[in-house]
Every structure is written in structure tokens, then in C-alpha cells.
Chain A
């Protein structure tokens, strides 16, 4: 536990640094104004929600092998936090869209993809509340999580080629190389690391509280 305390302090300092630097450093991208600073938060949120869903996938597959309830609990915890970060990414994106393109929502294919992504994990939780007993619920949600992971990349990477996107291209990656300049890159990756650590911390807390809830339920049955 002591090591984790150190990590929490490190995380606090990192977040303060990222927040301060994201406002005081120069404008991140030419052609956009100060509003582009939101990308320091928007993009890490989107990436972290993707990491969360990846963690959900891994534990879902693990559950089908092990049939161990803790794996299912971890999968569900990851999906919950993934949804929170997904919503944050959507909101920050909408704010940026309002300032840059004049509307909060314009059915850009990227915006649509994240809504589909959230719909998938919304469906995942709808499934969880509708299925009993526990073993069946865990198995079904694991199966659905795996299937969802075929739909999501198809949607995110393949379909957009057929539809136009307003999204700024070549901001992060251009010609296979990372396209961010010096300080911008430092702040961006600092933020990404901070958000990633935050995710794993929340994830750890969430499945442990889940475990406590479960043991309380189990006691009430006896």
C-alpha cells in the first residue's frame, strides 16, 4: 500500500503540472486558437476510454477461460470507467466543435463512432441487469464484450473511409510519425500518462468495492 501512496502523490503533482502547462505554454497547433488546448484533455480521455474497453475485453476473455467471478467483476469495472471517460471525451469534443464549427454536434463520423461505442457498453450493462443467475450473466456479458470488439474497429476505422470527417487530421500522427512539437508533446504525453494512471487507480478501487459488495450480498444470504 505504501508504494501506491507514492503513486498517488506523483499523480497529484503530474496533474497539477499538466493543468498549469496546458494553459501557459504556446498555442498547440497552428491554424487554431486557444480553444485547441482542450485537446490535452479530449484526446487522452478518448484514448483512456479505449484502454478501458481493451481491459474489459482482456478480462472478458479471461473469464470465459477461468469462470472466476473476479475476472468478470474486473471486466465490468473497466467498462464502467470506460463509459465515464467516453462521455468526457464526447463532451470535451462537443465543446471544441461548438467553438470551431459552430455546432455542438454535427454527426461527424468520429462523433458517431463514440456514440456507438457508448451504445455498445450501454447495451453491455443492459444485458447485465437483465440476465440471471450470476454465472450466466458473467458468461453472456463476456461473449457480448468480445463481439462488440469486432463492431467497434469496423466502425471506427473502416466505415469512416466511406463517410467524410470534419476531424482535424494529421494532428497527432502524420506519415507514420508523431507530429507534435517539443513542449506540446511533453504536455500531451504527460497528460496521457496522468489519465492512464488515474484509470488504473479507479479501476483498482472499483473492482475492490465490487468485491466488498459481493461479500456483503453473500453474507445476507447465509
Chain B
């Protein structure tokens, strides 16, 4: 038996998580339903209203954020609830777990956004002036939200109260990102000044990268405790 490489172990974990997720819909169902209900509520409330670019941008990100809160802690919470975390800790290196769960969150959020954004576009009569940059902002936003929630999800999974605590812990870490994403999205929709766009994109890249690096360095203290 030859020793598998680090990426091979990572893929094994992500495949396992995805398989379990597809068979239980532990995270996805709640996430998608939450998004649908919110979108429906918004659609009904704002019929015939002419929303500014900024309001559209804020609504999109608030929706992604709140829907994300329903599912992003799932990767870790599921392991603790089904008491599989012990076996995982025994057999998988913690670096594989950290990045595996991060990628899993990334995939879950991507599915959410792929589903939600076009629907919002159609139902809320959205117009996008810079479509490619909008796409980039969405990708960076998804990365940012996953990156900032990985270690908090790991902490929450070992806490006595889970649901509310995840929102409380993640909010301050995600807020800088959300504000910047809203400001960038406003520009993509045609509002704001484009000077701000480049600044926003820089933060949207730098902030999650720093948070990921620091979280990774600190992950052992959470996972092995």
C-alpha cells in the first residue's frame, strides 16, 4: 500500500462529505428553503417598486448571508452530532479536515448562489452592467463567507448551544466582507463610483486569505480540544 498524497486525502474527505450530504440533505435543504422563502417575501414586498442599486446589492448579500448561516456550520456540527468526529480525528490529519470542510462550505454556498442569484435576477428585474465583475464578486464573496465561517463552525460544533451561537460568532468576522461585497455589487449593478470597486475587490481578496491563514494556524487548538 502506497501512502496517499495530501490532496488525495482532501478529495476523499470532500467526496465523503458530499456523499453524506446528498443522502441526507442535512445542510442543503434548509439552506435552499430559507433562500426561497426570503426571496418570496422580498418579491411580494417590493412588487412594482423601483429599488436603487444599493438596495438590490444589500438585499442580495443579506439573503446569501442569512441563508448561509443555516447551512455553513453543518459540516462540523454533523460530525459532532453523529459522534463521528472522534473517528475523524483519529484517522484524518487536521489540515485535511480544515481545508476539506472549507471546500465543502464553498461547494454548498456555490450551489446556493447558482440557484439563488439567477432567480433573484429574474424575479426582481435586476439589471447588471458589469456582468463579469459581478461574477467575480460573487465568487470572492462565497470564498470569503466560507473562509470566515470554517473555524467558527468548528467551535460551535463543540458548544452546548449551536444555532444562535454560530450567527453570533460569525457576524463580526463576516461583516467587513459583507459591507465590501455590497459596495462592490452596487458598482456592478451600475451605481456608486467605480473608484471604490477596485478598493473593494482588493479587500475581498486579502481579508479572506488572511482569515484563512490565521484560522488554519489556530485550527488545532479548536479541533483537538
Contacts and interface: CB of A to CB of B under 8 A. Distances in A.
A130 B158 CA distance: 9
A152 B160 CA distance: 27
B203 A143 contact: no
Contacts of A151: 172-173, 175-176, 211
A186 interface: no
A198 interface: no
Contacts of A122: 168
Interface of B: 151-152, 155, 158-161, 165, 168-169, 171-173, 175-176, 179-180, 183, 196, 199-200, 203, 207, 210-211, 214-215, 218, 221-222, 225
Nearest to A63: B221
Interface of A: 64, 116, 119-120, 122-123, 126-127, 130-132, 135-136, 139-140, 142-144, 146-148, 150-151, 154-155, 158-159, 161-163
Contacts of A132: 160
A131 B160 contact: yes
Contacts, number: 91
Nearest to B179: A159
B196 A162 contact: yes
B183 A140 contact: no
B172 A120 contact: yes
Given A126-B168, A132-B160, A148-B172, A154 B155 contact: no
The 9 A-B pairs at the shortest CB distance, nearest first, are namely A120-B172, A130-B159, A154-B176, A143-B218, A136-B225, A123-B168, A139-B221, A155-B176, A139-B225
A136 B207 CA distance: 27
Contacts of A64: 218, 221
Nearest to A142: B221
B211 A150 contact: yes
Given A139-B225, A159-B176, 12 more contacts: A119-B172, A122-B168, A127-B168, A140-B158, A140-B221, A140-B222, A144-B155, A147-B218, A150-B214, A151-B211, A154-B176, A155-B176
